[in-house]
C-alpha cells in the first residue's frame, strides 16, 4: 500500500522519529516539516539548529553521542574566535561552520531559506523533502527572571536554568507559509507530530497561522507521539515549559496541547493510566514502548505508528 507521510519535527526527538520512518518500509513516502524558530544569528552567521539536526541525522553525519552536531568535529575556528575575544558559548564545530557560511551566503543572495535548507539536505545526500514552514523569520523568545532571552541563550548559554514566565514566537503571526509546506500538508495521507517539544518545536511550527489552519483542514489522518514518558522529558526543557504555561507535564498535558488537531496520540506503555482521560478529549490512544535509543527502536516505533494508520484504513474499507 502506498501513502504519503508528513512528519512535523523539532531537533533531537524529531530526528529520532524521522530516522525510524526513513529506514522503515514507508521511508520513500516521507516528507519532513522542520522547526525554524530556534534559528538565530551567531558570529554573523545564520544558524538553524533543528533543521541541521534533521539533516545531519538523516544523512548519518550526526554526532550520535550528543544527538546534535557533526561527528568527527574539531573546534579550531571557535578557538580562534575565542582568541579574538568573541564570546563562544554556542558550540559550533569546524565542519558545521561550513553549513552556516553556505546558508548565510545564500540568504544574502536572496535565495529563499526553504530552498537553501532543501539544497543543503540534498547536497549532503538526503533523498526526501525537508520543508520549512515559512521563509519569514520566526523566533522563539522567552520572558524569564533574567529578562527576555532568545532561544539559544536560554537553552545553551543559561542551560535552561532561568525561570520562564512567558514564551512568544516573534514574527509568527504575520508569517506566510511556504507553498511547499501547504502542498505537503494537503497531499499527506498521514500527518505525524514527532515526539518533539510540544511548545517550542511543534508549537512553533503550528504558530504560523496558515500552517495550523492547513493541518486542521487537511483530510490526512493525524497523530502525535508523546515526548513525555512517565511525567518526564527524555531530554530538554519541555517539562519546565509545560509547567510555565500551566499545562500538566505528562501525556495528558501533551494531549491538551494538540486537542482538536490530532486523531490519535501514541503514549508510552508506562502512561496507560492516562489513556481514559486522553480519550475523553476526543483523541484515541495507542500504547507502546516509545523510548528510542538505537536505530532498531526508532524503526520499531515508526512501524508501530504507521501500523496504527493502516489499521484505521482497514476499518474504513
Binding site for ligand GDP (CB under 6 A): 9-14, 16, 50, 194-197, 201, 225-227, 229, 233-236, 238, 290-292
Of 93 and 106, CB closest to ligand GDP: 93
Of 14 and 93, CB closest to ligand GDP: 14
Report, in Å, the least distance between residue 10 CB and ligand GDP: 3
- DSSP E strand boundaries for the chain: 5-9, 30-34, 40-42, 45-47, 130-131, 139-144, 147-150, 164-170, 190-193, 221-225, 228-229, 232-233, 264-268, 284-288
Report, in Å, the least distance between residue 267 CB and ligand GDP: 9
Report, in Å, the least distance between residue 193 CB and ligand GDP: 10
Of 88 and 196, CB closest to ligand GDP: 196
Query: How many other C-beta atoms lie within 10 A of the C-beta of residue 223?
Result: 23
**CA angle at residue 73 from 69 to 77, to 5 degrees?**
100
The answer to whether the Cα torsion of 248, 254, 256, 257 is positive or negative is positive
C-alpha cell at 102: 553556505
Report, in Å, the least distance between residue 159 CB and ligand GDP: 13
If we measure between CA atoms, which residue out of 194, 198, 224 comes closest to residue 286? Answer: 224
Of 106 and 140, CB closest to ligand GDP: 140
Residue nearest to ligand GDP (CB): 13
Report, in Å, the least distance between residue 136 CB and ligand GDP: 20
Of 170 and 287, CB closest to ligand GDP: 287
Amino acid at each position: 500500500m502506498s501513502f504519503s507521510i508528513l512528519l512535523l519535527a523539532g531537533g533531537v526527538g524529531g530526528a529520532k522519529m524521522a530516522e525510524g520512518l526513513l529506514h522503515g518500509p514507508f521511508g520513500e513516502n516521507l516528507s519532513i516539516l522542520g522547526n525554524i524558530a530556534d534559528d538565530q544569528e551567531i558570529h554573523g552567521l545564520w544558524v538553524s539548529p533543528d533543521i541541521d539536526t534533521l539533516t545531519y541525522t538523516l544523512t548519518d553525519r550526526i554526532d550520535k553521542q550528543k544527538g546534535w552536531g557533526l561527528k568527527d568535529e574539531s573546534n579550531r575556528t571557535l578557538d580562534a574566535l575565542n582568541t579574538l575575544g568573541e564570546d563562544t558559548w554556542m558550540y559550533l564545530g569546524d565542519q558545521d561552520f561550513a553549513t552556516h557560511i553556505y546558508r548565510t551566503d545564500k540568504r544574502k543572495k536572496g535565495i529563499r531559506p526553504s530552498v537553501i535548507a532543501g539544497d543543503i539536505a540534498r547536497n549532503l545526500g538526503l533523498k526526501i523533502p525537508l520543508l520549512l514552514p515559512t521563509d519569514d523569520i520566526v523566533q522563539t523568545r522567552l520572558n524569564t527572571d533574567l529578562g527576555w532571552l532568545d532561544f539559544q541563550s536560554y537553552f545553551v548559554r543559561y542551560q535552561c536554568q532561568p525561570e520562564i514566565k512567558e514564551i512568544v514566537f516573534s514574527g509568527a503571526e504575520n508569517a506566510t507559509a511556504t507553498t511547499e509546506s501547504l502542498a505537503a500538508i494537503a497531499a499527506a495521507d498521514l500527518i505525524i507530530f514527532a515526539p518533539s517539544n510540544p511548545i517550542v518545536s511543534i508549537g512553533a511550527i503550528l504558530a504560523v497561522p496558515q500552517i495550523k489552519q492547513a493541518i486542521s483542514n487537511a483530510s490526512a489522518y493525524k497523530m502525535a507521539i508523546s515526548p513525555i514518558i512517565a511525567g518526564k522529558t527524555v531530554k530538554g526543557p519541555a517539562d519546565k515549559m509545560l509547567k510555565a504555561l500551566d499545562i500538566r507535564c505528562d501525556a495528558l498535558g501533551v494531549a491538551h496541547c494538540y486537542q482538536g488537531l490530532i486523531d490519535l496520540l501514541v503514549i508510552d506503555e508506562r502512561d496507560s493510566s492516562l489513556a481514559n482521560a486522553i480519550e475523553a478529549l476526543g483523541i484515541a490512544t495507542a500504547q507502546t514502548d516509545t523510548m528510542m535509543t538505537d536505530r532498531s527502536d526508532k524503526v520499531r516505533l515508526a512501524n508501530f505508528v504507521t501500523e496504527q494508520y493502516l489499521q484505521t484504513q482497514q476499518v474504513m474499507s
